[in-house]
A and B are shown apart, each in its own frame.
Chain A
């Protein structure tokens, strides 16, 4: 059933199957929802996205509230704010929700919610046992003190990327994120795809290498295509322009990867600024690699290829394209090999 629903006094159209939260977000109306992500779906766990609906008792969660024609919804009434404030205060009551040196500062959904509700100091304190940080993994730190038990990482690991590593262990206040049979992440079957890092709404899953390397507002973002293989995952580089260095990589939620990346795409980003990177052609002369001009390098290479093919025939030649070059370059390699050299010996690292 498509139609119109009213949000805070303004009517908005919606499509069949959309939830109130989706319609609100689509139209720039802010409803905090800490356990909702489009990819993991409504979970109803955080209870922050509650709204008031005319003619309906209670305060339903908007993440799973199906939009209905003629529905009149209020997102910020005093009743809503009172409960929302209570819930956010409860989330802040234990753990370490200190923003000062948190990597998530500026892009934390809990921080945003607290800010919007005007919560400076949490209203309650829960004294709990010390919760351990799992920093065993090479790329990912799981700081359980910051976890708000939203369950997004577990849903993402099991249902989105289907790596099936994370689980929610124990229950109640003792619930915590575990890897496999509660082993350190480094000893688990985790492949460090980092989907948990990307979807964590708070600072409970962070990139280890990015710690202390710059906060979100200090970094510039550059959208690009992952150079590692032929899939063409879309990603965003978060760049410290002063240091000319990539600090972190996030997946873009577009075709083909919908935000997902592999360990290489997400964490293998140092090579552009590596001092070992080749910056000019080299030719080995008398056993030593020496810098030469492009003209010399190309002439030398063309001559050698021509000679070898003349002497031994085209089938001694083969070319390997690379996932890290563009489609156009790979096309040119294929054309050159087949049309110029006249052999079919052409292959590609991302062929499998």
Chain B
């Protein structure tokens, strides 16, 4: 191990209550320093350095897709083939890339220059197809653009292409600064009135802020929609342990690419939200756990944190008032499950991202066994507005019990896929209109990220987008990731791709998720390949029914609910794939 890497790891480990918490970061650092791959020697070195058993190191390294135990080419090309990407031609692009490189996905060119992999959702659904090359995203890819990229890579140059996604805002809260030049800099944020909420917050008591957030009606934007202020009030009273505030920036739900809009273009909005929230819940340390693929966004956040610290907006004496709160950016390493809050906490502690058995809940025992609040990026970014403008003003936006602005990511068959900010309760039709309208004839919409139940064109015609209405319609607002499908889409293929994703991302801890997802995957594959039977379809339904609600974390629901809905609503399409004579009803 290189001495400077070693020193960095030791420095990092010293800042945590347990050295193991630095494991994931250490593995990432070593991998980067050693040419993109971890050898047995590297793993042994890290194990010794952090005093972690070898078996635990292997368990951790082999869990995350971004840590490589096998050599990869100088350029690791990773193509997102998840549903949003598939809808806009990612598989055609894959065929083109395979042909251009002369290798199949999963292989490396003989000259060791390129490794090609297909990967799951990269959080760029609005700018698909997206190709990740090493730590950089190349969005809105086409065959022509790929050829251009390839020529450049062969000359040893990774081009610095900026891709602008579509966006729009009716609320001007979360995307208010989206179009501004250099919107990530502190000076611009302050000039636009930034950090005034923090000023105001420090004149209030923490309890007053908690009350404001409760009164605002702000519901968690990660997907569950649980009232944020109520979550905060679950912290145990009179605990002597430190409290941690964790920002969930693991955005990985297929169809979702909203949090990155805030982090990439207005990082100080998030940091101010965290500083205010940290003060409110009594935390001195905050973590932003960001998915590892968003490397450049993590860099932006780190620069923003440094700037904010320098300006006294973070640190041990915020605004000179003796309030202490600091933020550290922690990068994930490729695991969808880490978006689940207890899995995220495990990953933060340097372990496999296995969700924890509850109780205890994080508010009682989270990071390092201490009281912890985990909030989504968008949730925290709403907090400055609430504090500055008041709970009343916030609750005026949206509808009763569904208050505030919401980011909707629209992907798939629309003319202008992108992210759009509207008040909760906005008609789905209005969002689709903002997104340039549907390409072709609308067939179905998944309105809240892949884990929510699909709606037919008829069902969603009058849908308004808020938590309660979506529930009434038998689906969920979820993360607000809207995947639009026109009538060229075959639902059985979407169902298969859905379960392939969840089977790939299952942590494997509990039986129904680990075994069930793979069983359903194989059954649906048979059906899609024309080799299935009606018994397969009945078995899928029966499995969905028994898996729902019966897994260790919500992952089981996340695939059994959408698969069941697709099968029930589009049964005829599945049946039509069965070989003649096998249909026994």
A residues neighboring B (CB under 8 Å) = 42-48, 50, 58-59, 64, 82-83, 86-87, 90-91, 93-94, 123-124, 126-128, 148-149, 151, 154, 157-158, 164-175, 178-182, 189
Q: A47-B550, A164-B55, A172-B504 are in contact. List 5 more A-B contacts (CB 8 A).
A: A48-B511, A87-B511, A128-B518, A154-B55, A173-B503
User: Which chain B residues (111-144) contact chain A, with CB distance < 8 Å?
Assistant: none
A58 to B359, CA, bound (A): 15
Is B44 on the interface with A (CB-CB < 8 A)?
yes
> B515 near A173 (CB under 8 angstroms)?
yes
Does the CB pair A189–B54 fall under 8 Å? Answer: yes
The segment from B75-83, B318-326, B539-547 found at the interface with A is B539-547
Per the bound structure, the CA–CA distance linking A23 and B579 in Å amounts to 52
In the complex, residue of chain A having the shortest beta-carbon distance to the beta carbon of B355 = A44
With a cutoff of 8 Å between Cβ atoms, the chain A residues found around residue B512 in the complex are 47, 86-87, 90
Contact between A50 and B58, CB atoms less than 8 A apart: no
B56 / chain A contacts, CB cutoff of 8 Å: 158, 164, 167
Task: Give every chain B residue within 8 A of A128 (Cβ-Cβ).
Answer: 518
Most chain B Cβ neighbours within 10 Å, of A128, A165, A169: A169
Decide: A86 near B542, CB < 8 A? Known: A47-B552, A91-B511: yes
Q: Which residues of B contact A (CB under 8 A)?
A: 40, 43-44, 53-59, 62-63, 335, 352, 357, 359, 503-512, 514-519, 522, 539, 542-543, 546-547, 549-552
Instruction: Give complex CA distance A94, B511 in Å.
Output: 12
A82 near B546 with CB under 8 A, answer: yes
The contact of A44 among B62, B352, B357, B507, by CB within 8 Å, is B357
- In the complex, which residues of chain B have a beta carbon less than 8 angstroms from the beta carbon of A151? 509
For A87, list chain B residues within 8 Å (CB): 511-512, 546, 550
Q: A164-B53, A164-B55 are in contact. Are A171 and B63 (CB under 8 A)?
A: yes
- The answer to whether B511 and A46 touch across the interface, beta carbons within 8 angstroms, is yes
With A and B bound together, what is the CA distance between A228 and B54 in angstroms? 30
Does A167 contact B55, Cβ atoms closer than 8 Å? yes
* 8 smallest beta-carbon distances between A and B, as pairs: A167-B55, A164-B53, A167-B59, A175-B508, A90-B515, A86-B546, A180-B54, A172-B506
A180 engages B55 (CB within 8 Å): yes
Instruction: Give min CB distance, B533 to chain A, whole Å.
Output: 13
CA distance A148 to B511 in the complex (A): 8
Question: Given the complex, which residues of B lie within 8 Å of A157, measured CB to CB?
Answer: 55
When chains A and B are docked, how far (Å) is the Cα of A87 from the Cα of B503?
16
A123 to B62, CA, bound (A): 31
Partner of B58, one of A86, A148, A182: A182
A180: chain B residues within 8 A (beta carbon): 53-55, 58
Whether A149 contacts B63 by the Cβ 8 Å rule is no
Give Cα A124–Cα B352 distance, bound, in whole angstroms.
29
B357/A171 in contact, CB under 8 A: no
Say yes or no: A181 contacts B506, CB within 8 Å. Answer: no
B357 and A64 contacting across the interface, CB-CB below 8 Å = yes
User: A181 near B511 (CB under 8 angstroms)?
Assistant: no
- Bound form: Cα–Cα A186–B317 in Å: 56
A178 to B44, CA, bound (A): 15
Known: A59-B550, A178-B55, A179-B55. Is A45-B510 also a contact (CB below 8 A)? yes
Given A47-B511, A169-B58, A173-B518, verify A158-B53 contact (CB < 8 Å).
yes
Known: A59-B550, A165-B55, A173-B506. Contact between A124 and B514, CB under 8 A? no
CB contacts (< 8 Å) of A123 on chain B: these are 539
Contacts of B57 in A (CB 8 A): 167, 181
